[in-house]
Amino acid sequence: MKLVYKGVFKSIEQLPESVLPPNAVKFKEPNSMIVTNMVALLFLIPACAGIWLFERFSYLIYGVSDNKTTLLGITAAFLFIIIHELLHAVCFGKNAKVEMYVSFKHLMAFVTSNQPVTKARFIFLSLFPNLVLGWIPLAIWTVLPYNEVYSNHLYTFAYISIIFGVGDYLNMFNAIRQMPNGSMQQISGMNSYWFMPQSEQSNVNFS
């Protein structure tokens, strides 16, 4: 994987365009960063429900419900945004060229690549950072005995990291709903596209 830092994102014209197969189908998704972020916020509902379930499980084990948000945990989650994007980047594969941008206007960083990936890989690369930085730390927090020194920091880092990943849940949802089994995903500019490899076009089954 070759990572290229492209600096501050100002307009979609900066994003690389792909040479797409003739049979490529554009995802049904927003065409602007602002609208994408607004739609992604809908996934806060299941994310917060999942966090609550982990909290309840922890309470059932230890009987402790003193979950406090800490400045250290919030700061760590923000510092790990770049790590979040690097985890996305490595999932594109060793031969991929991946570009990284930061957007202060949208309070985010993101990566993009023209490398085609399978449906399964696209779903995995969308979820991988949220698992590593969010759900796995939250699971560890759930089963560790409560300790005032570190528990609240770990809890805060985990749930903030999960919230930061709501845009990735939107990508996963679109892939599951729109991509047929055996299809490939490819990014061009602002949007994602799916297409069937030539050998698979005669046998298309939607998941």
pLDDT digits (tens, 9 = 90+) for 92-142: 998 999 999 998 877 789 999 999 999 999 999 999 999 999 999 999 999
Q: How many CA atoms lie within 13 A of 86 on its CB side?
A: 6
User: Which H/E stretch holds residue 62?
Assistant: helix 44-62
Dig out the tokens for 13 from the structure: 């014209």
The model's pTM is: 0.88
Beta bridge partners of 103: 108
Q: Which residues contact 161 (CB under 8 A, 6 or more apart)?
A: 77, 80, 84, 130, 133, 134, 137
Using only C-alpha atoms, the chain has a radius of gyration, in whole angstroms, of: 19
Beta bridge partners of 195: 184
Phi, psi of 195 (to 5 degrees): -155, 155
Torsion of the alpha carbons at 100, 29, 188 and 101, rounded to the nearest 10: -10
- pLDDT at position 53 is 94
Residue 116 CA to residue 5 CA, distance in Å, equals 20
Residue 117 CA to residue 94 CA, distance in Å, equals 12
Residues of the chain with pLDDT under 70: 199-207
